[in-house]
Amino acid sequence: MTSKTTIPVHLDINGQHHTLELEPRVTLLDALRDRLGLTGTKKGCDHGQCGACTVHVDGERVLACLTLAAQAEGRAITTIEGLAREGELHPVQAAFLEQDAFQCGYCTPGQIMSAVACIREGHAGSDEEIREYMAGNLCRCGAYPHIVAAVRQAALEAAS
Ligand code: FES
Ligand code: FES
């Protein structure tokens, strides 16, 4: 017989505190989507290979499918739902819209979370640099040229 042991996990997500009873092996991705209904963060491969599940933990991008929820305890988690402020799209979200940087949209939340980190960390100095930083975010629709254009636009706006 297997025993199901749960532990209380305190998560700070988009500025809101949540306490969940979770098995220690539950990933941050499953906690977000299945327990909290934050389904903007997508599950693609569930194995660290597509970037669809990208979120920020203490301002750094992480793959939520490779992070245990318990590892994120007490740290500031930001998901795609937390980017817009007071009804205003984040500038990177606006740039993705303006540049038509998505087709089906499945990879888009992860792309945007990576793009925000790319610009914040100073890796958006050239298209080459943007492509390199964003290489872990796959897009099956092949929207890459538009994604790079959106990151370039948002980076220019942030610098001006
Ligand atoms: S779902 Fe996490 S990297 Fe693919
Ligand atoms: S827009 Fe469809 S996977 Fe990227």
Give the tens place of pLDDT for each residue, 15-28: 999 999 999 999 99
Looking at the structure, tell me whether residues 73 and 102 fall in a common domain.
no
- Give domain status of residue 1, yes or no: no
Nearest ligand 1 atom to the CA of 44 is: 1
- Give domain status of residue 49, yes or no: yes
Cα separation, 72 vs 35, in Å, equals 15
Q: What is the mean pLDDT of the chain?
A: 96
Ligand 2 mean position, distance from CA 137 (Å): 10
* Structural domains of the chain, count: 2
Looking at the structure, tell me whether residues 99 and 76 fall in a common domain.
no
pLDDT one-digit tens code per residue, 45-89? 999 999 999 999 999 999 999 999 999 999 999 999 999 988 899
- What residue numbers bound the domain in which 36 lies? 7-82
Domain boundary among 59, 82, 105: 82
Q: Report the 3 state secondary structure along the chain.
A: CCCCCCEEEEEEECCEEEEEEECCCCEHHHHHHHHCCCCCCCCCCCCCCCCCCEEEECCEEEEHHHCEHHHHCCCEEECHHHCCECCECCHHHHHHHHCCCCCCCCCHHHHHHHHHHHHHCCCCCCHHHHHHHHHHCCCCCCCHHHHHHHHHHHHHHHHC
Looking at the structure, tell me whether residues 76 and 95 fall in a common domain.
no
State the ligand closest to the CA atom of 54.
1
| Whole-structure pTM value | 0.95
Nearest ligand 1 atom to the CA of 46 is: 1
